[in-house]
Amino acid sequence: MKTIKTLLFFVTLLVSNVMLGQSKEEMIKEWQRAKAYTQEYLDAMPAEKYDLKPTPEMRSFAQQMLHFTDANYAFASAASGEKSPVGMGESEKATDQSKANVTKLVNASYDFVINAIGKMSDASFKETVKMFGRFEMSKGTALNKCFEHQTHHRGQTTVYIRLAGVKPPQEKLF
């Protein structure tokens, strides 16, 4: 058991160092790819299905997209020091959750993240930030957590698209 814990520790350390070793240009390129891939998801879902919920207690497709939109602003603002133009949770509470408005709001959040990263120096990714008043991490880690979060929620919407009777976009790993 101790050997497994030790191995997991070193694997985690290695992965963290690789992720933190990502340059600003590489990070921007990945966010641009994520934006393009998310656009394919937004385009794939029929406009009349943006309110689709797999079960009543779950978020709708629009709410899933707007949930990570809010997180994009929150994480990028905290990591970069750029003031978010959107209040915490404001996007998900938007009364207009039409395809056109959701697409506009989601893309604006990606633009905010990409522009915020562009203003940071490579050295600043190693600086420490406290996320949500309790999680201390490097700014690079905070941005990677943000990337992980949007990937997670976009991935969840694959099921929504299938439930709408549409084929989801092909994987866009590169």
pLDDT category at 150 given cuts 50, 70, 90 is: very high
Q: Where are the domains of the chain?
A: 23-163
Q: 10: Cβ–Cβ under 8 A, 6 or more apart, which residues?
A: none
User: Torsions phi, psi of 95, nearest 5?
Assistant: -75, -30
Interval 128-146 mean pLDDT: 92
| pTM given for the model | 0.86
Binding site listing for a divalent metal cation: 67, 149, 153
| CB neighbours of residue 80 within 10 Å | 22
Q: 55: Cβ–Cβ under 8 A, 6 or more apart, which residues?
A: none
Per-residue pLDDT at 11 exceeds 80? no
Give the pLDDT score at 2: 53
Rounded Cα gap, residues 103 and 147, in angstroms: 18
Give the pLDDT score at 22: 80
Mean pLDDT of the chain: 89
Binding site listing: 67, 149, 153
CATH superfamily entry for domain 23-163: dinb family like domain (1.20.120.450)
pLDDT category at 131 given cuts 50, 70, 90 is: confident
Structure confidence by residue, pLDDT tens digits, 19-36: 456 899 999 999 999 999
Chain Cα centroid distance, residue 162 = 21
Per-residue pLDDT at 10 exceeds 60? no
Give the pLDDT score at 132: 83
Contact criterion met (CB below 8 Å) for 117 and 31: yes
Tell which residue, 113, 66, 117, has the closest CA to residue 88.
66
